[in-house]
Amino acid sequence: MIQIVRLVAQRIALGLFTLLIVTLLIFLAVELLPGDFVDAILRQGRTQESVEVLRRQIGLDQPAYVRYFSWLTNAAQGDLGYSFSNERPVSDLIGNRLYNTFFLAGYAAAMAVPVALTFGILAALYRNSVFDRVVNITALSAISSPEFLAAYILIFVFSIQLGWLPSLAHIAIDTSLWESLKLLFLPAVTLTLVTVAHMMRMTRAAIINLMTSPYIEMALLKGVGPKRLILRHALPNALSPIVNVVAMNLAYLVVGVVVVEVVFVYPGLGQLLVDSVSKRDMPVVQAGCLVFAVTYIGLNLVADILSIITNPRLLNPS
Amino acid sequence: MLPIMQSSLKLLKTAPPTAFLGLTILTVVLFAGVFAPWIAPYGETDVVGAPGLSIGGDFLFGTDQIGRDVFTRILYGARNTVGIALLVTAMAFFIGVVFGLISAVSSRWVDQVLSRLVDILMAIPPLILALLILTIAGTSVLNMVLVIAVLDSTRVFRLTRAVGMNVAVLEFVELARLRGEGTWWIVRHEILPNITAPLAAEFGLRFCFVFLFISALSFLGLGIQPPTADWGSMVRETSTLISFGIATPLVPAICIALLTVGVNLIVDWFLYQSGMRKE
């Protein structure tokens, strides 16, 4: 038990350290920008005085490390500065979009995880059968295709040819849950297709990997049936790598959302981020990157911790 | 016939159908890319017909949103997109292999510094980091090439370091050291020849990743800029046509997927051949 606690504490410390470095990186990005905030905000009508006043107002007369810590504490409290392009607070711009992005990612995850585990276990159970081959080939092509291919094929078939589902995910604050589930069905399926393949392959590999170990052979010799063999004997030990790959894919999902949001014109954080990159609206990009990076690192941390906790060898040390 | 040609012919005969498919796709794409100006019926940016003509009419793949021939632009796209992806992968490999080898043969201290740096770079999602850097530097092809090359070199670094370290502790390397050979000589004559197989397989996989990454950035409008023909941005540009029931944006998207599948199949075969994969 103490061993586990120590391992977990180590991982958390490492994760926090990485987060700190990442925030530093994102902060330094602005420092590298030619000119500063003031030049960007006061494009015309600038006088020596107005520049000085504004500089003092937003604290640019202070050294960089002071500004870094005030930026960090402000960001932790939800104050992310003002957008260059429309001078609204970044937190206002992001708030609702963040919810939209997480909603879409969660929706996709709710479909992808059960499908991936079921197909992975079935493929391992019926190894080298036609079913296994078909699943493998599908997985390879899904991994190799860009997100937008899956998205446009789905749009072309289900919303243009068949007219069953909308091709654009126009969602407003007052859209009902049922309506948003329907609007978001195609984007969520796209994300599912892209992530299922990897999770499924790893599940299959983790189980097959275990099948060669002596204790499985023992169970086989004892006359245990194939279903019981996989579900009772192999799965508990395969759980740790599987849980790990699931959490890692959820992290990937949150980032992969960017392209899918652009395809379906979905008002999420990814689309805002892409728009702001082409407008070079630094505070918004900073905030967007911060949110994505924190989520990604956080989920990877969860993946590590879960894989430690679910490892039966660590739980019952002999 | 040269012996090397004979052995490669023999190897080709034993290739499974999947590898054959992969090789065919790769050959066709490379051929199209190299000879694009000679095969293409029109110029790269020529407007040749009405906008948004559908597939299979006067034009093989139809025309795009302003009336350029999609088939022509696919051929030029093979040249631009694949060319840039190859360049980026080569750069990523150069950076990654050099630093990976330095890390493998240098003192513990140098190795620790390099490895921790790479750990941090890899903890950030590549797309997000690329977007951040492109905002600072501005979106241009050169910036994109440099950013992706550096980001991707981290994975090459990890692999090179790992396989390099395994070789560096073997007896023949120690023998070379005792003989008084310099570090650079040992790297070139003892370590590099022993790690080329995993590196070659990795090159194929990294190429796929880089290629998809460039396509995604171009699709988002942040990579290769119009009017240059490029598969990713072609999808973006023609995407409005899909709401009229014209499947044009699917053509470049399918090309991207086909090439990636093809390279993956070749890598699988190669791994199987060199005994690195049992299944």
pLDDT per residue over A104-161, tens digit each?
A: 888 888 888 888 888 888 887 777 778 888 887 888 787 778 888 888 888 877 777 7
Identify whether B97 is part of a domain: yes
B53-84 pLDDT tens trace: 666 666 667 777 777 777 888 888 888 888 89
When mean pLDDT is compared over A73-77, A102-106, A130-134, A179-183, the highest value belongs to A102-106
Of B215, B222, B265, the CB nearest to A146: B215
Q: Please indicate if any CB of chain A lies within 8 Å of the CB of B124.
A: yes
Q: Please indicate if any CB of chain B lies within 8 Å of the CB of A165.
A: no
Tell me chain A's radius of gyration from C-alpha atoms.
Answer: 24
pLDDT, greater one: A34 or A87: A87
Mean pLDDT, to the nearest integer, of A12-18? 86
CB contact under 8 A, B139 and A263: no
**Would the pLDDT of B279 be above 50?**
no
Residues 199-228 on B with a CB inside 8 Å of A are 208, 212, 215-216, 219-222
Which range of residues forms the domain containing residue B221?
68-274
**Residue % of chain B over a pLDDT of 70:** 90
**Would the pLDDT of B124 be above 50?**
yes
CATH of the domain at B227: 1.10.3720.10
What SS3 state is found at A204?
helix
**Would the pLDDT of A2 be above 50?**
yes
Minimal C-alpha gap between A231 and chain B (Å): 23
In chain A, whose CA is at the least distance from the CA of B249? A152
Of A140, A152, A155, the CB nearest to B264: A140
Identify whether B39 is part of a domain: no
Identify whether B194 is part of a domain: yes
B85-95 pLDDT tens trace: 999 999 999 99
In chain B, whose CA is at the least distance from the CA of A23? B124
Whole-complex ipTM: 0.77
B197-225 pLDDT tens trace: 888 888 888 898 898 888 888 888 887 87
Of B133, B208, B219, the CB nearest to A144: B208
Mean pLDDT, to the nearest integer, of B239-244? 76
Identify whether B42 is part of a domain: no
- Per the prediction, chain A carries an average pLDDT of 78
Q: Please indicate if any CB of chain B lies within 8 Å of the CB of A28.
A: no
What SS3 state is found at A223?
coil
Instruction: Count structural domains, chain B.
Output: 1
From chain A, pick out residues whose CB is under 8 angstroms from the CB of B136. Answer: 29, 32-33, 282
Confidence (pLDDT) at A151: 82
B223-236 pLDDT tens trace: 787 788 888 888 88
CB contact under 8 A, A285 and B212: no
Q: Please indicate if any CB of chain A lies within 8 Å of the CB of B110.
A: no
pLDDT, greater one: A282 or B175: B175
**Would the pLDDT of A37 be above 60?**
no
Identify whether B5 is part of a domain: no
Confidence (pLDDT) at B1: 53
Domain limits of chain A? Answer: 2-33+80-315
Lowest mean pLDDT among A12-16, A77-81, A225-229, B156-160: A77-81
Mean pLDDT, to the nearest integer, of B159-183? 85
**How confident is residue B96, by pLDDT bands cut at 50, 70 and 90?**
very high
CB contact under 8 A, A144 and B260: yes
**How confident is residue A94, by pLDDT bands cut at 50, 70 and 90?**
confident
Confidence (pLDDT) at A39: 60
Confidence (pLDDT) at A99: 84
From chain B, pick out residues whose CB is under 8 angstroms from the CB of A147. Answer: 216
Identify whether B25 is part of a domain: no
CB contact under 8 A, A148 and B123: no
Confidence (pLDDT) at A287: 85
A242-295 pLDDT tens trace: 787 787 788 778 777 888 888 888 888 888 888 888 777 778 888 888 888 888
Identify whether B83 is part of a domain: yes
From chain A, pick out residues whose CB is under 8 angstroms from the CB of B247. Answer: 156
* Burial call A275-292: b when 16+ CB within 10 Å, e when fewer: bbbeebbbbbbbbbbbbb
Identify whether B28 is part of a domain: no
Cα–Cα–Cα angle for B174, B271, B269, rounded to 5 degrees: 155
Minimal C-alpha gap between B200 and chain A (Å): 19
From chain A, pick out residues whose CB is under 8 angstroms from the CB of B219. Answer: 146, 148, 259, 262
Residue A27: DSSP 8-state: H
Q: Which of B119, B122, B135 to mutate to test the interface with A (most CBs of A within 10 A)?
A: B135
From chain B, pick out residues whose CB is under 8 angstroms from the CB of A10. Answer: none
Confidence (pLDDT) at A60: 65
Confidence (pLDDT) at B92: 92
Minimal C-alpha gap between A109 and chain B (Å): 18
Minimal C-alpha gap between A316 and chain B (Å): 31
From chain B, pick out residues whose CB is under 8 angstroms from the CB of A273. Answer: 131
SS3 per-residue string spanning A59-123: CCCCCHHHHHHHHHHHHHCCCCCECCCCCCEHHHHHHHHHHHHHHHHHHHHHHHHHHHHHHHHHH
Q: Which is the CATH superfamily of the domain at A2-33+80-315? A: MetI-like (1.10.3720.10)
The DSSP line for chain B is --HHHHHHHHHHHT--HHHHHHHHHHHHHHHHHHTHHHH-SS-TT-B-S-TTPPTTSSSTT-B-TTSBBHHHHHHHHHHHHHHHHHHHHHHHHHHHHHHHHHHHHS-HHHHHHHHHHHHHHHHS-HHHHHHHHHHHH-S-HHHHHHHHHHHHHHHHHHHHHHHHHHHHTSHHHHHHHHTT--HHHHIIIIIHHHHHHHHHHHHHHHHHHHHHHHHHHHHTTSSSPTTS--HHHHHHHHGGGGGGT--TTHHHHHHHHHHHHHHHHHHHHHHHHTTS---
